[in-house]
Homo-oligomer: A and B are copies of this chain.
Amino acid sequence: MDSIKIAHLSKSFGQQAVLTDINLTIEPQTIYGLLGRNGAGKSTLFNIISDRIPATSGEVVIEGQNNVNNDRVLNRIYLMGERNLYPSRMRVSDIFQTTAALYGRMDMDLVHQLSSQFGLNIRTRFAKLSTGYRSILKLIIGLAVDVDYVFFDEPTLGLDANHRELFYSALMDSYAKRPRTFVISTHLIEEIANMVERVLVLQEHHITIDETTEKVLNKGYSITGPTADVTAYTAGLNVIGHDQLGNLRVDYVYGQLNGSRPIPDTVSISHIDLQKLFVNLTSQEVATFEN
């Protein structure tokens, strides 16, 4: 089983650059979190990898072969996208059958088990499903289809808290039984932080972070104390954001602290969670793209 290699990939819509010179290797049997602001281009990246839209330049190589119009390798990946590609009058059961036929193999026992657990009535027509149940239909397919790479674009859109927990545990069960790669794009960062082995951050047209979750979390700090002491301590560090409450200040730092600088007694330092880290890393970013 080979990796997916993305080389010098760029994409513009008209004058609007969305992705610029993306270089990225997606390894087999790994769970990734793809993080990015609204409009950062996450869906665009997924759509290019799965050859639903063309790149402007660069290429995607799956198991050694260019992906464009290449059914053999495209059949090894599945994208659960935002767009609803199903005919509105089609019934859920027919959508499962059609997808199974298209991909050659799908775990129909798992399909029926998950449909029952999520309360999805397979006799329902697609058009009648709420936003939450459209997500449920698509994530069941993503978990049951027999491919090496599954791309989940906002899989929990519209899902209630119980259904989100059910999805995360079903994904971990499925991964344990048949290890493969999942790339999950989500805005509910804290909820996936424990599952995700590697973090990708897409920001200002580039992949700015591609590291293990553990390393990313180890580089995030909050430094709290009286304003003057905090700013003196963090001078020269990579301060990515701050909060201020009266004379109390919190600076958020991503990267190395200065080991030789003494920590004032008035200042306390802790690690921060992944969502807090992401919010501060990307708070200045302006969306450049809305589709």
- A: residues with CB less than 8 A from B are 36-39, 43, 82, 119-121, 124, 128-133, 136, 154, 157-165, 187-189, 275, 278-279, 282-283, 286-287, 290-291
Contact = CB atoms under 8 A, between A and B. Distances in A.
B130 A162 contact: no
A164 B188 CA distance: 11
Given A119-B287, A161-B279, A188-B188, 7 more contacts: A38-B119, A38-B163, A120-B290, A121-B290, A129-B291, A130-B291, A164-B187
Contacts of A130: 38-39, 43, 82, 290-291
A37 B38 CA distance: 26
A160 B261 CA distance: 36
Copies per assembly? 2
Contacts of A36: 160
B162 A158 contact: no
B39 A133 contact: yes
A contacts with B: majority SS: loop
Contacts of A286: 119
Contact of A131 (B37, B154, B163): B154
Nearest to A289: B130
A162 B131 contact: no
Contact of A162 (B43, B121, B136, B279): B279
- Top 3 nearest A-B pairs by Cβ distance? A38-B132, A119-B287, A160-B187
A131 B160 contact: no
A85 to B, nearest CB: 15
Contacts of A37: 160, 162-163
Contact of A187 (B39, B128, B158, B187): B158
